């Protein structure tokens, strides 16, 4: 399958809560900016920059500011296999941590992710379980790997009797389930590391504001997740939520 778009750009800004129940909890800001070039029968090549920073309070002088926690740089290739209902991505991520020093300030990993459009199996208009599998192999700090398997399903309110209801006709609800498996990255064994449950509530602003498709897609999403950790104290339980604004062109 050939990519019809010669170049696709995207931007996502997320405001997310820090660990709940913490005395010094704060909000984190995350920004992802990227572009993907269509290569015809060769698929597509893309690159992305992801930043994570938070509001911090310097108790010594009482000044509030911003603290960059992490900056990631990703490059990937997507083979042209969408026609078969498969979404395959192979890439590399460079992860930097400005608040750390020495070798701990940088690592990198290779990854491969596979998503399946199971609407072809169920004969439905959109995916039913949308299975997703990803494998990340750290090449520097940890020399281990992390695997993820996820399921999700989107409920479009317009298809559930609300097609003429203002605002709600543009909303979708997406519950999700994600299992993380540690292979000698967090611990020196292979075991289930985390189980995550979540829900996204998405408002299609492009549809609501009647923005022509040629100007891109604009969406607003609120989300709430609970991560149940089986690797404490290395990874803690976490209940968090936030909101994200997404634009793609």
The domain ranges of the chain are 7-248
Give the pLDDT score at 18. Answer: 64
Per-residue CA distances from 218 to 113, 184, 222 (Å): 25, 40, 14
The pLDDT tens digits for 41-75 are 899 999 999 999 986 654 444 444 458 889 999 99
Per-residue pLDDT reduced to its tens digit, 98-122? 888 888 899 999 999 999 999 988 8
To which residue do tokens 């020495």 refer?
102
| Minimum mean pLDDT range among 4-13, 104-113, 213-222 | 4-13
The CATH homologous superfamily of the domain defined by 7-248: monomeric porin ompg (2.40.160.40)
Q: Which of 94-98, 114-118, 119-123, 199-203 has the lowest mean pLDDT?
A: 119-123
pLDDT of residue 1: 42
CB 30 within 8 A of CB 52: yes
- Quick check: 11 pLDDT over 60? yes
Rg (CA), the chain: 20
Residue 23: both structure tokens together: 């005395």
pTM over 0.85: yes
Average pLDDT, the chain: 89
């Amino acid at each position: 399958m050939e990519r019809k778009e010669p170049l696709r750009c995207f931007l996502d800004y997320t405001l997310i809560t820090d660990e709940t129940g913490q005395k010094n909890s704060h909000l984190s800001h995350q920004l992802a900016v990227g572009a993907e070039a269509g290569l015809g029968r060769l698929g597509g090549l893309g690159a992305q920059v992801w930043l994570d920073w938070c509001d911090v309070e310097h108790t010594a002088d009482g000044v509030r500011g911003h603290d960059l926690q992490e900056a990631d740089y990703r490059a990937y290739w997507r083979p042209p296999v969408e026609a078969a209902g498969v979404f395959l991505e192979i890439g590399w991520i460079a992860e930097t941590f400005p608040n750390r020093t020495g070798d701990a300030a940088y690592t990198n990993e290779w990854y491969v992710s596979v998503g399946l459009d199971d609407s072809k199996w169920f004969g439905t208009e959109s995916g039913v379980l949308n299975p997703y599998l990803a494998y990340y192999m750290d090449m520097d700090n940890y020399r281990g790997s992390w695997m993820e398997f996820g399921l999700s399903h989107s409920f479009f309110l317009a298809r559930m009797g609300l097609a003429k209801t203002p605002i709600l006709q543009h909303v979708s609800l997406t519950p999700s389930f994600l299992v993380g498996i540690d292979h000698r990255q967090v611990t020196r064994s292979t075991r289930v590391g985390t189980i995550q449950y979540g829900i996204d509530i998405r408002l299609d602003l492009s549809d609501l504001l009647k923005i022509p498709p040629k100007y891109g897609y604009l969406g607003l999403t609120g989300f709430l997740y609970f991560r149940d950790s089986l690797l404490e104290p290395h990874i803690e339980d976490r209940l968090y939520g936030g909101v994200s604004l997404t634009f793609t062109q």
